[in-house]
């Protein structure tokens, strides 16, 4: 299968900042086409299909899976499974997939969520096993931070909270909050963040 | 004369005078070797969208778009209040150059160590 995403010049930048830029770009595309209609048949499509369109080179005119399959002369189910497998190999796409899953747990197209990757890319740090988790949903700014503070204080020193925060300000705000408070941001893979409570 | 300077702006087309003067002052700070931030909140977040400021021209001042472009070229940063942005259903894919959507912690961090802030 020829994936246009593979030829995107930005994929050549393997640095952490390059990865962060790709993730931001993918999330922006998902936001941009929230509630849009298929560029081909005019029907509705889900966020997973936006991501699949991006992979196949239809970033600016997403299509539903049946129309994507027709465009590349493939069976929709087979094509969907193949693109899912491809997404597992790209950390930036997998983040986008997880975001779509959080936003749309009941996918109208019932597209299957890929299993977790078997092996992370060598450069990707391993996510620590959290002692507590919190899905903060769409909350942001002061509302998010006050609740986060309460939850961090409920942990023992050095324990880790995994927070899922969909707010678009979270990628900037949660690292800043950690710098201000002294808690350690162990890993950030928007929308997931692992924060270790400071000692004391 | 290193240091930081913050301009907090809560207006857009509802008060073109304040919006314009805020960026005039921000440009003065950037030109004075200050690491300068414009924090957009409440109605001010509308200025984070490309094209929005194109028709704002206050008598006696340069057009707002020109002031904002010059601010970005001078290395000025624009923080956009996340909840204010979401409330108005603005477009993340249409941000002006130099703008970043942030929450309160990012602003608090910038204002640490007594950084001055003027509000319009």
In this structure, are A49 and A95 located in the same domain?
yes
The answer to whether position A108 is within a domain reads no
* Facing residue for A172 by CB, picked from B92, B93, B102: B102
In this structure, are A99 and A158 located in the same domain?
no
User: Number of folded domains in chain A?
Assistant: 2
Chain A positions in Cβ-Cβ contact with residue B91 (cut-off 8 Å): 31-32
In this structure, are A72 and A156 located in the same domain?
no
The answer to whether position A147 is within a domain reads yes
For the ranges A8-22, A131-145, B71-85, the lowest mean pLDDT is seen at A8-22
Q: Looking at the predicted structure, is the pLDDT value of residue A93 above 80?
A: yes
The answer to whether position A165 is within a domain reads yes
In this structure, are A80 and A136 located in the same domain?
no
**Beta strand B117-119 with B99-102: parallel, antiparallel or unpaired?**
unpaired
Q: What is the pLDDT of residue A112?
A: 61
The answer to whether position A143 is within a domain reads yes
Q: What is the pLDDT of residue A43?
A: 85
What sign has the CA pseudo-torsion B99, B105, B110, B111?
Answer: positive
Q: Which two tokens stand for residue B47?
A: 């200025």
CATH number for the domain spanning A150: value is 3.30.110.40
Q: Using an 8 Å Cβ cutoff, are B102 and A169 in contact?
A: yes
Domain, as residue range, for A14: 4-103
Q: Which CATH code fits B4-119?
A: 3.40.1260.10
| Domain end (from A60, A85, A103) | A103
The H-or-E segment that residue B8 falls in is strand B4-9
For the ranges A105-114, A182-191, B19-28, the lowest mean pLDDT is seen at A105-114
In this structure, are A82 and A157 located in the same domain?
no
In this structure, are A11 and A98 located in the same domain?
yes
Average pLDDT over residues A3-23: 74
Q: What is the pLDDT of residue A101?
A: 78
Taking the CA of residue B118 and the nearest CA in chain A, the distance in Å comes to: 21
Residue A15 is given by DSSP the state S
In this structure, are A8 and A56 located in the same domain?
yes
Q: Using an 8 Å Cβ cutoff, are B59 and B38 in contact?
A: no
In this structure, are A170 and A84 located in the same domain?
no
The answer to whether position A126 is within a domain reads no
| Model ipTM value | 0.77
Q: Express each pLDDT in B76-112 by its tens digit.
A: 999 999 999 999 999 999 999 889 999 999 999 999 8
Q: How far is CA B4 from the centre of its chain?
A: 14
Q: What is the pLDDT of residue A7?
A: 75
Cβ–Cβ contacts within 10 Å for residue B51, how many? 9
* Facing residue for A169 by CB, picked from B93, B102, B108: B102
In this structure, are A94 and A175 located in the same domain?
no
Q: Kindly list the domain boundaries of chain B, sorted by start residue.
A: 4-119
* Facing residue for B83 by CB, picked from A27, A140, A172: A140
């Amino acid at each position: 299968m020829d994936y246009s995403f593979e030829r995107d010049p930005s994929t050549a930048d393997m640095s952490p900042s390059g990865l962060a830029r790709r993730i931001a770009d993918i999330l922006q595309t998902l936001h941009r086409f929230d509630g849009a209609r298929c560029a081909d048949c005019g029907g509705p499509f889900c966020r997973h299909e936006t991501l699949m369109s991006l992979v196949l080179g239809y970033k600016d005119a997403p299509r539903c899976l049946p129309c994507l399959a027709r465009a590349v002369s493939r069976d929709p189910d087979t094509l969907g499974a193949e693109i899912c497998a491809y997404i597992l190999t790209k950390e930036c796409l997998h983040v986008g997939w997880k975001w779509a899953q959080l936003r749309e747990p009941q996918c109208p197209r019932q597209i299957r969520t890929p299993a977790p990757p078997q092996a992370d890319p060598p450069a990707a740090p391993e996510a620590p096993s959290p002692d507590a988790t919190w899905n903060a949903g769409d909350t942001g700014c002061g509302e998010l931070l006050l609740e986060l503070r309460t939850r961090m204080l409920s942990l023992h020193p050095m324990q880790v909270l995994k927070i899922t925060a969909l707010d678009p300000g979270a990628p900037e705000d949660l690292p800043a909050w950690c710098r201000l408070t002294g808690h350690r941001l162990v890993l950030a893979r928007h929308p997931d963040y692992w924060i270790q409570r400071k000692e004391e | 004369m290193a240091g930081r300077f913050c301009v907090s702006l809560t207006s857009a087309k509802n008060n073109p005078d304040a919006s314009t003067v805020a960026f005039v002052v921000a440009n003065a700070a950037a030109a004075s070797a200050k690491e300068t931030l414009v924090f957009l909140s409440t109605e001010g977040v509308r200025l984070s969208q490309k094209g929005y400021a194109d028709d704002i021209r206050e008598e006696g001042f340069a057009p707002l778009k020109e002031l904002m472009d010059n601010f970005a070229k001078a290395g000025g940063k624009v923080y956009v209040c996340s909840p204010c942005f979401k409330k108005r259903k603005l477009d993340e894919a249409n941000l002006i150059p130099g703008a970043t959507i942030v929450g309160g912690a990012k602003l608090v961090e910038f204002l640490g160590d007594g950084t001055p802030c003027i509000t319009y």
